[in-house]
Amino acid sequence: MVLLVIVPPTLATGELSTPASESAEVERAEVDAGVENASPASSEAAVGNVVDGFPVVLDGVPLFYVRQGIAGVTSAAERAAIITQRVKAIATDSDLAPDAIRAETEENQSVVLAGDTVLFTVRQEDAESYGSSHPELAAEAVARIQQGVMHYREQRSLRRIVTSVSMTLLSTIVVFLVLRGILFGSSRLLTYIRRRRNANTLAIRIQSVQVLGSGATSYLLGGLVRLLRPGLILLALYLYVPFVLSQFPATAEFGDSLLQDMAFRLSLLAQGFVAYLPELAMIGVIGLVTYYVIEFARQVIIELGRHDVYPWFYPEWVQPTIRLATLLIVAIAMVIAGPYLPGFGSPAFQGISIFLGALLTLGSSSAVANALSGIILIYTRAFQLRDFIRINDIVGEVQDKSLFVTRVLTPKQETVTIPNASVLNSNVINYSAICRESQGFLLLYTTVTLGYDLPWRKVHEVLIEAARATADIAIAPAPFVLQTALNDFNVSYELNAYTASPAKMPDIYSRLHQNIQDHCNAADIEILSPTFSALRDGNHSTLPANYLPDDYKAPPFVVQGTHGQPPLADSRPRESRPDIKPETNGS
């Protein structure tokens, strides 16, 4: 610590030409000032305070600090500014050699001079308060000023300017190559991501569960690359600009301040990361324990799915149960790890939590109902994938059964999406369950109405033969016929036949109806609809022409009398009968 005293005659004018002999005759108002160690390479900001003092700066580098002003004359900050001005004037005077800066020792003080110019004085009383002598402190101050002046002049020498220009050109080339590399590398990386996506090799899986598909993964990776690209470009420019500015004395202070700011922020980031390491380690431990708990639960559920050992736990429950168990375990792990997350407990974190809670409460009632219905449908085993089912008036094959919806593909190739809550509230007819679970057969049935004049045994035989001739109809169990109704004008015959292919129901029914028509026509059996007239007299047969004899003619319209007798003759005179026109001349 060096204590300095400023010579007052130069205080008001700022002149640096007061000779040593003249200054010795001038009354000195001596005040205490301190000089602390400060290297010319130091980059501390030239900002002082009443405790540490105000710096004397040369070329943006503090040389020493002034702590006290002159009582009743000036403050410590003003004194430091005056000394700074004197030192800068000396540094810019190329005729003054650094060796001309010296300290002259008097009886109770030392005077620091530059040539014949007095800079400041150091009193013995001030030096003794710090356990030193005024010659030693003055010599230390002289050494620092000499070093600062040499550094100032070296920065402005021709050799230094050439070096700065060369470094600027070299750094510009390097930055150009770096920017080209960033653009080229990001483009190649995006092309590689697209190629992997097209090959469907970017899916992210945990065990057998696909977390993200190739499309989603490529979207996230592509977005990350596009986000990092401008960030890396800005980082390269942020390093380049301060480096170039620091090469030239006029802009070195600004460039150094930018580098200091970056270093300070990186230091804060590093300190924050180091301080967060214990919490990060705890999160890692929680994640590791969660992984092994999930794996243990998975193995237990797979073992339960062995139907020969645990018949009450069906194999189709294994994967849904694994997903539900994984979801539950991960949710518990997130609750445990929550306090270790950065920002947990902060007002922002609490505000986001409240917002998400309100959002879920107000907008997720239908989603929760569908999710619970989906879980119930899984464990009630109402249907499985590829089952042929009916839900209300929708008939088709189950294509997808998720937690929220069920998708059915109809025979018309229409995909119908049904919320699980609606499915749970409806009657579900599963045509495939008996075939899948007990290797049984689905019973198909259709009704035909035929006249009373046909022997029912013959009808049964014809219908059964039609069923046996239909593809995908089982031979055993054999088809059978039920007479379900004796209608006013016809008899209802219900043909029942078994099939092991429920998904082909529409095609089977179509072929069955075709065969019924063909076999009835071949057996000379007319199929009567309920609205077909019971009066057969005068009507053409309903059989196709190729099933009728070549000499077939439609019967005349004849009304038979009682007990099959011919009708009675009309006894009215011919001229009074409306169906006979009177004969006229010329007819």
User: How many other C-beta atoms are found inside a 10 Å radius of the C-beta of residue 543?
Assistant: 16
pLDDT tops 90 at residue 480: yes
Identify which has the larger pLDDT, 399 or 5: 399
Tokens of 361: 């409460």
What confidence category does residue 457 fall into, taking pLDDT thresholds of 50, 70 and 90?
very high
Distances (CA, A) of 77 to 53, 74, 102, 508, 573: 8, 8, 24, 104, 152
The reported pLDDT for the residue numbered 263 is 86
Q: Give me the chain's average pLDDT, please.
A: 79
Quote the distance between the C-alpha of residue 305 and its chain's center: 33
Q: Determine the average pLDDT of the residues in 581-586.
A: 48
Identify which has the larger pLDDT, 280 or 361: 280
The reported pLDDT for the residue numbered 531 is 53
| Residue whose entry in the numeric block shows the structure tokens 């499985």 | 384
Distances (CA, A) of 367 to 370, 382, 405, 481: 5, 20, 10, 48
Identify which has the larger pLDDT, 163 or 283: 283
The string of pLDDT tens digits covering residues 22-75 is 333 333 333 333 333 333 333 344 466 766 678 888 877 888 777 666 667 777
Tokens of 582: 């009177």
CA dihedral 328, 330, 336, 340 (to 10 degrees): -160
Asked if 48 contacts 80 with a C-beta cutoff of 8 angstroms, the reply is yes
Which amino acid does the sequence have at 452? Y
**Lowest-pLDDT choice from 44-48, 111-115, 376-380, 543-547:** 44-48
Identify which has the larger pLDDT, 40 or 449: 449
The reported pLDDT for the residue numbered 443 is 94
Helices (H) and strands (E) in the chain, counts: 14, 17
Q: Determine the average pLDDT of the residues in 122-144.
A: 74
**Lowest-pLDDT choice from 124-133, 195-204, 509-518:** 124-133
Peptide bond preceding 530 in cis form (omega within 30 of 0): no
Asked if 313 contacts 305 with a C-beta cutoff of 8 angstroms, the reply is yes
Asked if 202 contacts 222 with a C-beta cutoff of 8 angstroms, the reply is no
CA dihedral 187, 189, 195, 198 (to 10 degrees): -100
pLDDT tops 90 at residue 19: no
Best mean pLDDT range from 104-118, 508-522, 524-538: 508-522
What confidence category does residue 574 fall into, taking pLDDT thresholds of 50, 70 and 90?
low
Tokens of 240: 């380049």
* DSSP assignments along 32-101, one per residue: --EE----TT----S--BTTTBEEEEETTEEEEEE---BTTTB-HHHHHHHHHHHHHHHHH-TTS-GGGE
What confidence category does residue 208 fall into, taking pLDDT thresholds of 50, 70 and 90?
low
Tokens of 535: 């009066």
Tokens of 85: 């001005």
Q: Determine the average pLDDT of the residues in 75-104.
A: 82
Calculate what percentage of the chain has a pLDDT beyond 90. 33
Which of 458, 459, 460, 479 has its CA nearest to residue 468?
479
**Lowest-pLDDT choice from 192-201, 403-412, 461-470, 577-586:** 577-586
In this prediction the pTM is 0.53
Best mean pLDDT range from 238-242, 342-346, 477-481: 477-481
The reported pLDDT for the residue numbered 100 is 82
pLDDT tops 70 at residue 584: no
The string of pLDDT tens digits covering residues 138-153 is 788 888 888 888 888 8
**Lowest-pLDDT choice from 70-84, 249-263, 372-386:** 70-84
CA–CA separation, 114 vs 570, rounded Å?
A: 163
Identify which has the larger pLDDT, 456 or 536: 456
Quote the distance between the C-alpha of residue 238 and its chain's center: 30
The reported pLDDT for the residue numbered 558 is 54
What confidence category does residue 473 fall into, taking pLDDT thresholds of 50, 70 and 90?
very high
Identify which has the larger pLDDT, 426 or 50: 426
Calculate what percentage of the chain has a pLDDT beyond 70. 79
Q: Determine the average pLDDT of the residues in 412-422.
A: 93
Q: Where are the beta strands (DSSP E) in 414-500?
A: 415-419, 428-430, 442-450, 480-486, 491-499
Radius of gyration from C-alpha coordinates of the chain: 53
Q: Determine the average pLDDT of the residues in 398-405.
A: 90
The residues, ordered by sequence, that sit 6+ positions from 42 with a Cβ below 8 Å of its Cβ are 61, 62
Which of 67, 70, 50 has its CA nearest to residue 6?
70
Identify which has the larger pLDDT, 246 or 579: 246
The reported pLDDT for the residue numbered 150 is 85
The reported pLDDT for the residue numbered 478 is 94
Tokens of 578: 């409306």
The string of pLDDT tens digits covering residues 261-302 is 888 988 998 998 899 899 999 999 999 999 999 999 999 998
Asked if 154 contacts 28 with a C-beta cutoff of 8 angstroms, the reply is no
The residues, ordered by sequence, that sit 6+ positions from 277 with a Cβ below 8 Å of its Cβ are none
Distances (CA, A) of 39 to 61, 127, 136: 8, 21, 18
The reported pLDDT for the residue numbered 555 is 66
Which of 425, 419, 426 has its CA nearest to residue 392?
426
CA dihedral 349, 354, 358, 360 (to 10 degrees): 40
Do the strands 61-66 and 101-105 form a parallel or antiparallel pair, or are they unpaired? unpaired
pLDDT tops 70 at residue 575: no
